[in-house]
A and B are shown apart, each in its own frame.
Chain A
Amino acid sequence: MAKVILTPKKVPELMLEAPCITTDAFAKKTPAQIADLEVREGKIPFKLGEYFEIVGNPGESAAETEIEIAGDCSRVKYIGTKMTAGLITVKGNADMYTGGWMKGGKIHIVGDVHSFCGIAMEGGDILVDGNAQNHVGCAYRGDWRGMRGGTIRIRGSAGNDIGTFMLGGTIIIEKEVFIHVSTHAEGGTVIIKGNVTGRVGGQMVKGDIYVLGKIQHILPGFTKVDQVRKEVDGQTFTLDHYIGDLGERHPKSKGKEIFANLYVRAAA
């Protein structure tokens, strides 16, 4: 893969909106052309080159292009949005909408991400070594079609609203989550390896949630049906199997209602 290295050279005064930092936008361009791409601080358009030193040539297509940001992007929004292929690595933090509406390829954030990481994602992989804020893999406001595919892995913890209106794909949070997991979801898989405060699977129609830590408050709409042994992210566990949300409507298949599944690691 042909690699383009972006080195931050100034911190934006406000947040920098840079939806152009994608392999799709970079492919086939010269460093000078990449430097010329538009970014915004509020209403003022600037050039990408004013904020980043750009070295290296991208490939002929997104799939053949790798972007490395050699520094912190705490104040840069929209990195990798709508990307279809290739690789982006950020050697620091990234701000909101990282990998939003992503269709393919891979994004690796070495630091933390802010909210709306992987919003309405359709495919590809996002790996965050640090923590995420809220709304990981959620739907855009009002849309009943949330994350449809791909994988988001957060090695740290996350806030609230994980996988809201999720339809497919996988979200893995390796540490704690606050509240609201897979709310309104109609598919997909969420795995939380740490503890969750509560509201797991509220208004959920279909889909699977695995919690390997503890849930402080299980919703009254979930009821325990059995205990199973299942492999979760490469390891096998004994899990209490709940179905729900019994308060929500559920589609029928051959006359039987299909519920969402919540698996919680059984007490030793």
Chain B
Amino acid sequence: MPKLITQVGCPYCGSSCDDLEVLVSDDNKTVLEVRNACIIGNNIFLHANDPTRPKLPRMRQPDGSMKEISYKEAIDWTAKTLIAAKKPLIYGFGSTNCEGMSAVGRVAEKAGAVLDNCASICHGPSFLAIFDNGYPSCTLGEAKNRADCVVFWGCNPMHAHPRHTSRYSLFPRGFFTQKGQMQRKVICVDPRETDTAKLADVHFMLDQGHDYDLFDAFRTVLRGHDIPDIVAGIKREKIVEAIEIMKKSRFVMIFFGMGCTHTDGRNHNVDIAISLTRDLNTHTKASIMAMRGHYNIAGPGQVWSWQFGFPYCIDLSKGTHAHMNPGETSSIDLAMRDEIDCFVNVGTDAGAHFPIEAVKHLKKHPFITIDPNFCMASEISDLHIPVRIAGVDEPGVVYRMDNVPIQFKAVIDGLPGVPSDEELFDMVYERMCELTQTEPVWLAAKAHRKYPSSAVN
């Protein structure tokens, strides 16, 4: 009898929906059907059925081909490579669970590595803005239950976060927003007429790259000062009107995305958005939230903050203390400046996401990919180690875009012999300790860990 598993978390976007229903085969090996998910989430589950999924590590051979090797060999090679490198970079973690992120902290400390996550090329500027200006935010339920003015600034959830608008931000009938969308004024700021913009009451089609100027105009108007007739291609009257809408609302919710973080000024666009949110709080209630990309990309920011005090770009090579300064310790800068001599890509695809110049620099040194699937990074790697898929065949804690932890389930059994990220990193760590003849440092939590997993031995 197939089994229906309910309240399943979705390992796709930062919405981290946990209302999926997944029908699995009686033997717990195959996903038969996925309900409630968007099309991408759906595919992530069904993809786990793919019989061609890698089950063993593959090592690049002198002739350029890839050859399957045992996990033991792969772990040994990874451990030796990390020890030998002067400054390895361990990057990724867009798509894995917090248990893996916690385990890698130990490996990175031992390796004197730089630990970075996908925020580095995504919402990293938002972190910089939070460092400088704070973060007046809320959980998504607050948006659902209270927000009667929703601003989408430089983001397009209709495509990037397909169920965001229906679960949290726009359509749902919340406790104080019983009329759903009818009760919400929607403002969209985007140079393109996106599908999200089409839903908006007001669409600011601003000049590309002038978000900061427009935010500054909003703030200036809010403080009762005059502004020029046109700012960033937008007429003064329209700006004044939007500010009036916000001031009259009971709860203003600003969602921002890559349009802010990846145009000129980057962190400053987010920074001034935070200032605007703060200013609005003297008139009404206002909150702001980053539209984080992956289902657990908020995770490394949390886990590494409690372990090292920094969310990303953490340089552990100094031995005595962690150092962080994006612009110096950020992945792309490190790669472009030839500042690292080993690259480990975990649960993401640096091959596809990094500028080609950066990848060329990285390819001068050992290049390891740890990922359940084949991807561009795995295909240019010296070593590809497959792991289980968090949220599909491996459970764990993930952090939604609003930093709410959600305990994801596994819906099917993992592939025999394939470890989770956590197990793999723990084995790499143990091997590093063996090779350096040091005692491993486990915390109390470790005594209960599943490893050594029967799957691996």
Contacts and interface: CB of A to CB of B under 8 A. Distances in A.
A contacting B, Cβ–Cβ less than 8 Å: yes
Interface of A: 13-15, 40-44, 96, 115-116, 134-135, 140-142, 144, 160, 164-165, 179-180, 183-184, 198-199, 202-203, 217, 219-221, 223, 245-248
Given A199-B268, A203-B271, A42 B85 contact: yes
A220 B265 contact: no
B183 to A, nearest CB: 29
Contacts of B86: 13-14, 41-44
Given A199-B268, A203-B275, A247 B341 contact: no
Contacts of B138: none
Contacts of B23: none
A139 B216 CA distance: 22
A202 B219 CA distance: 11
B341 A43 contact: no
B317 interface: yes
A220 B328 contact: no
B73 interface: no
A198 B319 CA distance: 41
Given A14-B338, A247-B279, 19 more contacts: A13-B86, A42-B86, A42-B341, A43-B318, A43-B319, A44-B86, A96-B328, A115-B328, A141-B324, A183-B271, A202-B216, A202-B268, A217-B213, A220-B227, A220-B231, A246-B220, A246-B225, A247-B216, A247-B220
Contacts of A144: 132
A245 B112 contact: no
B266 to A, nearest CB: 9
A202 B272 contact: yes
A43 B328 contact: no
Nearest to B85: A42
A157 to B, nearest CB: 16
B320 to A, nearest CB: 11
B87 A41 contact: yes
Contact of B87 (A14, A160, A184): A14
B142 interface: no
A179 B317 contact: no
B213 A219 contact: yes
B275 A248 contact: yes
A184 B338 contact: no
B208 interface: no
A141 B324 CA distance: 9
B220 A43 contact: no
Contacts of B112: 42-43
Given A14-B339, A42-B112, A220 B326 contact: no
B62 interface: no
Interface string B312-354: 0000011100001111100000000111110000000000000
A44 B112 CA distance: 9
B328 A221 contact: no
A29 B326 CA distance: 35
A96 B334 CA distance: 12
Contacts of A247: 216-220, 222-223, 225, 275, 279
A184 B212 CA distance: 13
Given A179-B265, A248-B275, A43 B216 contact: no
Nearest to B279: A247
A221 B131 contact: no
User: Interface of chain A, helix or strand or loop or mixed?
Assistant: loop
Contacts of B340: 14, 42
A15 B86 CA distance: 11
A219 B227 CA distance: 9
Nearest to B338: A14
Contact of A13 (B227, B318, B328, B341): B341
B228 A220 contact: yes
Contact of A141 (B111, B227, B279, B325): B325
A179 B265 CA distance: 7
Scoring A43, A134, A140, A164 by chain B CB atoms within 10 A of each residue's CB, the highest score goes to A43
B210 A217 contact: yes
Contacts of B339: 14-15
Nearest to A247: B219
18 contacts: A14-B341, A40-B317, A41-B86, A41-B87, A42-B317, A43-B112, A134-B327, A140-B325, A142-B132, A164-B132, A180-B268, A199-B213, A202-B268, A219-B212, A220-B216, A220-B217, A245-B216, A247-B223
Given A116-B328, A179-B264, A219-B213, A43 B87 contact: yes
B226 interface: yes
B128 interface: yes
A118 to B, nearest CB: 14
Contacts of A179: 264-265
Contacts of B85: 42
B268 A198 contact: no
Contacts of A183: 268, 271
Interface in B199-234: 210, 212-213, 216-220, 222-223, 225-228, 231
Interface in B216-275: 216-220, 222-223, 225-228, 231, 264-265, 268, 271-272, 275
A171 B131 CA distance: 24
A220 B445 CA distance: 54
A170 to B, nearest CB: 22
Given A43-B86, A246-B225, A15 B325 contact: no
A15 B337 contact: yes
B327 A135 contact: yes
A248 B262 CA distance: 24
Scoring B227, B268, B279 by chain A CB atoms within 10 A of each residue's CB, the highest score goes to B268
Nearest to B88: A42
Scoring A135, A199, A220 by chain B CB atoms within 10 A of each residue's CB, the highest score goes to A220
Contact of B132 (A14, A184, A217): A184
Nearest to B230: A220
Contacts of B216: 202-203, 219-221, 245, 247
A43 B212 CA distance: 39
A223 B226 contact: yes
A140 B328 CA distance: 12
Given A14-B339, A179-B264, A141 B210 contact: no
A90 to B, nearest CB: 18
A164 to B, nearest CB: 8
Contacts of A40: 317-318
Contacts of B318: 40, 43
Contacts of A246: 220, 223, 225
